[in-house]
Structure 1
Amino acid sequence: MPTDCISYKNSGYFSPLMNEYLAEKSNLQSLYNRFPTLENFEGQILEKQGNYNNANRATLVSVLEKQYSGIATSHLTQQNIEALKGSNTFTITTGHQLNLFSGPLYFLYKIISTINLTKELKAKYPAYNFVPIYWMATEDHDFAEINYFSFKGKKFRWNKESNGPVGRLSTEGLSELFEIYAQELGSSTNANTLKKLFSEAYLNHDNLADATRHLANSLFGNQGLVILDADNQDLKRSFIPYAKEELLQQTSHKAVLETTQKLKDYNIQVNPREINLFYIEDQLRERIVLENDVYKINNTKKEFSQEEILRLLENNPEMFSPNVIMRPLFQEVILPNLCYIGGGGEIAYWLELKNFFESVKVTFPMLLVRNSVLLATEKQVKKADKLELTWSDLFSKQADLINKVTKITSEFPIDLTTQKEKLRKQFETLFELARQTDKSFVGAVKAQEVKQTKGLENLEKRLLKAQKRKYSDTLERATDLQNELFPNKSLQERQVNFSEYYLENGPDLIPKLISSLHPLEQNFEIITL
């Protein structure tokens, strides 16, 4: 099988900003606290230990115990929740939207990266405890981003209206979608397991937050994963001082704008608003806008004076929801967190926030790019071997792959580089001769060199085109293989739902992933199933 290893940089799927962050370029070092290496966690532990308000631990544990009541909880998860009471316990956190039936594969990779990092840290720092946290994005209101998943090239969409926070959304109506999905699964043992998992999560729970918690707990509870829904009055009470400062001072807007200037040569991931908080109810999540000393709720008739909105914050903190700028701060205030694990886009917006964290005196976490994975079957690996393709070839653009396969397959060299080099040397002699005669002769020689070089290049293109026609069957097998591994010419992990692989691999799938992923390495993991 192909044995080459693909780095994140060479995969072609990471932005210039992420490639430079991963390379620890000096121009970005002011935008993060510590780069995520095992050794750097020692300093992060000590800093967080001195900065975190341990009074928040009791609230955190109390909320988790309530959220887990009535749920079949593994001994390891119970142990981790209990451990959070102690000042020597820290969290590693990932966050994700409440995608229907987990959405694309990278939902799994985020959580496994988080679980595996806690294991590595415990081995390195045995005096401390490390708890993996999945922060459910229950307050998001962009339902269109999460109301579907893909299975074997088909999209299963939940047709429902939603305007408020998705975590509070009723699961009513999902039984119809389940019936369609169940028919596609078939009747194998693994198919029945998936049906049971879906129905117990979505048909036996009243809202999307509880359904998603059940799903994640079923998949990862035996690994000690702790799942948190931060859409909670008690947790938000701990955040009141920071929400108050945001309403009165707009600190985040000023601090993040300063940082975006340092990132002006890159694509800015998010732009701050003057107030980075939403007003939230069951069927409403809208921006808070300050106009002429009046706090208005966007797209509604609701408005508050300064005194009224501060009183509302004190009495009902659950009615205030952080946006993409403030959510990371909320997380780091309520959790004894050391590191956030996310995709490239998430890490890009976190890099905008360090200046803001410093201004409100909260420790900025380490930022780790989650594991990325390409899953391949043994059959696909054998196809790659037969075609003499490396993983690097398969990660390349399809036009480049076609050219590479054509050149590999051709019984004679298609590349005319040798001929072009000989031509160049011949013209070197002619140029020397021309320089000894008339200057106008130099121009004539140059024109002739350009003409003949172009002629060779055209012959090379025509030769390549002719060979492509000749080996069209081989090229079709190569492109079919690439299309299988990169559906819609995109990363598999962003397109395919885990159930497609569970159907074939069953309960071995997740243990295989857990044993294969190494969160602190910067390689695109290629796993054969």
Structure 2
Amino acid sequence: MKGITEALRSGSKLAEDYLCTTDAARSLYEYDIRWENGLHARAEWLKQSEHTRVDRHELAAYLRLYNKRVNDHDKVHASITRLVEEDALVVTGGQQSGLFTGPLFVIYKAASVVAAAREAEQQLKRPVVPVFWIAGEDHDWDEVNHTYLPDKQGQIHKVKLQGHFKGKDSVSYVEVKWDQWETVLNQVEQLLPDTMHKPGLIKLITEIHQSSTNLSDAFARMISALFAKTGLVLMDAADPELRKLEKPIFERLIRKNDSLREAYLQGASLVEQAGYSTSAEVAEDGANLFYIHEGTRLLLMLKDNLYQDRKGLVSFTEERLLQELEDHPERFSNNVLTRPLMQDSLLPVAAVILGHGEIAYWGLTREAFRTFGLQMPILLPRLSFTIMEEVQHKYMKQYGLSFQDVQNQLEEKKAQWLTQQETFQVDEQFTQIREQFMTLYRPLLDQVAEVHPGLNRIGEANLAKMNEQIQYLERQVRKAIEDKHQVSLRHWNGIQNALFPMGKPQERVHNALFYLNRYGTDWIEELIKASAEFRGEHKVISL
């Protein structure tokens, strides 16, 4: 697998500075990006803090049950058995469920977890198990119910589950019926070109969705189909059985809510003092917990010693909330700030794989980790790629385009190229005719106004109509030029749709099914084997 490093826009100054080991950003985290320097220290801390986490045997028992259902593979069960060993550690990462796994970066994140676990095990000479969280407790249905695939001509199409879900229940609890799956499966089959891999791929995803009644289960089975042979262990954050294990951790989150809230506020203050904006809301009255009430996931606030949502649908004293936790742990859910604490209270996390946005909001959590008697783990940026196929490489070379040209100034470059193809200079010619026309016509308007004041209004209206006609002719000339070069312009549009569809990085739009259909699955293992360093670099690769 060939690859070259290219800069990719991030959007998070804090994450970028963390990756560049800038002092201001580094001060907000426990370890720096050079993770091998802190790996042994982190392992030693985990050994000393074993008592702060859920019992390994109870955790393994849960993981065996869940993975038996959605990720049943000998290598997975072997990983769970290894996790029980007292010196075993974990590299973890997670993502909310997405249709057909969602954008490509989800695949890269799972591959990152596996690659980093292998690298950590090699360095530490002890078991390191890859674990992937499915954030099935998230409730933004409209964010996960669709994905994007190019058609046979390279045009981007949105594939979306039919039906509108109006509630705010966790994604794992939203039922999806077979006719909804069947509609999107048919759409995928029509969009994917015929290849040697297509029959097997369509059969696989059909069987997966026939046995899945919600998006999280389908997502888990899709990830399993691609990664189970690597030993990647899965867990769903919304699973009621997991909630039973998490009950004592939720109890601590409630009992220490005041001090945790102060810790998050302190974290936000430190982020701002370091010169960055906060990437997650830290409310002065926030409880940083969700409560599921009648199918709606409500964010709890703490006001006048009562835990309540903003709309006043529920209200609990602390003792009543603790009793509710005892009776119904499945009704409780973390937010983005308490999820890291829950993760490290369950798993012996050596390192966690994060996207840039996640790295930014984790910058708010260090003081909360300390308040909770924990230590922030090593943070590693997920692997990041753009897949460059031969056809795009050929056309970019033909038109003299670099990757950065495509990312930053493709429309400008295209307009320049079009201009160079014609001896008739559209801008120059039409600018000149407008100037000449106004030179002749404006004095005429002044003269007719002297004949009769009403003629001035008619003359101005007439001028506007003639300008409209000149603009119309200009548009037709430009269209004729574009039509003349439509084959080449299709090449330009194909480059954009392949590398920066919808103006976004490929990995944030394209679904993996397009590449699985074209290249099979071996390239995923190639990604894992080729990735030992985690420095936040973006690579352009060919498969």
Which TM bucket (shorter chain)? Answer: 0.7 to 0.9
Quick one: which of 329, 336, 341 aligns to 1:317? Answer: 329
> TM-score, normalized by length of structure 1?
0.81
Separation (CA, whole Å) in 2 of partners of 1:177 and 1:474:
31
Contact kept, 8 Å, 1:171 with 1:202, in 2: the verdict is no
Task: Map Cα deviations across residues 59-118 of structure 1 (whole Å, 9 max, x no partner).
Answer: 210110111234563222111101111121111111101011111000100010111111
In the alignment, structure 1 residue 49 sits paired with structure 2 residue 47: yes
* Greater CA drift, 334-343 or 67-76: 67-76
Separation (CA, whole Å) in 1 of partners of 2:25 and 2:293:
39
Aligned ranges 1:449-528 → 2 under 5 Å = 476=489, 477=491, 480-528=494-542
Separation (CA, whole Å) in 1 of partners of 2:3 and 2:382:
22
Contact kept, 8 Å, 2:119 with 2:532, in 1: the verdict is no
1:369 aligns with 381
Aligned ranges 1:96-495 → 2 under 5 Å = 96-126=95-125, 128-152=126-150, 153-158=156-161, 159-161=163-165, 162-172=167-177, 173-185=180-192, 188-231=195-238, 232-246=242-256, 249-264=257-272, 265-273=275-283, 274-280=286-292, 283-299=295-311, 301-398=313-410, 401=413, 476=489, 477=491, 480-495=494-509
Change (3 A) 1:380 1:516: farther
| Residue identity in the other structure for 1:121 | A
Structure 2 stretches lacking a partner, 5+ long: 151-155, 423-480
Secondary structure of the corresponding residue to residue 364 of structure 1: coil
* Greater CA drift, 473-482 or 497-506: 473-482
Aligned ranges 1:11-22 → 2 under 5 Å = 11-22=8-19
Secondary structure of the corresponding residue to residue 27 of structure 2: helix
Structure 1 stretches lacking a partner, 5+ long: 411-468
Task: Map Cα deviations across residues 367-413 of structure 1 (whole Å, 9 max, x no partner).
Answer: 11111100011122222333444434433333565599799999xxx
Change (3 A) 1:397 1:47: farther
Contact kept, 8 Å, 1:34 with 1:44, in 2: the verdict is no
Separation (CA, whole Å) in 2 of partners of 1:19 and 1:230:
28
The number of residue pairs the alignment matches comes to 465
Secondary structure of the corresponding residue to residue 11 of structure 1: coil
TM-superposed deviation, 1:122:
1.7
| Residue identity in the other structure for 1:339 | A
TM-superposed deviation, 1:261:
2.1
| Residue identity in the other structure for 1:242 | R
Separation (CA, whole Å) in 1 of partners of 2:353 and 2:416:
36
TM-superposed deviation, 1:364:
0.7
Separation (CA, whole Å) in 2 of partners of 1:194 and 1:399:
36
Secondary structure of the corresponding residue to residue 374 of structure 2: coil
Change (3 A) 1:299 1:506: same
TM-superposed deviation, 1:189:
4.0
TM-superposed deviation, 1:119:
1.2
Contact kept, 8 Å, 2:97 with 2:216, in 1: the verdict is yes
TM-superposed deviation, 1:4:
5.6
Change (3 A) 1:174 1:40: same
Task: Map Cα deviations across residues 463-495 of structure 1 (whole Å, 9 max, x no partner).
Answer: xxxxxx999899955565244311112100001
Separation (CA, whole Å) in 1 of partners of 2:492 and 2:193:
30
Percent of aligned pairs sharing the same letter: 25
Contact kept, 8 Å, 1:233 with 1:316, in 2: the verdict is no
Separation (CA, whole Å) in 2 of partners of 1:403 and 1:185:
31
TM-superposed deviation, 1:513:
2.8
Root mean square deviation of aligned Cα: 2.9
Separation (CA, whole Å) in 2 of partners of 1:290 and 1:72:
39
Task: Map Cα deviations across residues 170-214 of structure 1 (whole Å, 9 max, x no partner).
Answer: 121322332333333366442222322322222212233322221
1:433 aligns with none
> TM-score, normalized by length of structure 2?
0.79
Task: Map Cα deviations across residues 222-245 of structure 1 (whole Å, 9 max, x no partner).
Answer: 011000123323222241342222
| Residue identity in the other structure for 1:302 | V
TM-superposed deviation, 1:124:
1.5
Separation (CA, whole Å) in 1 of partners of 2:496 and 2:91:
35
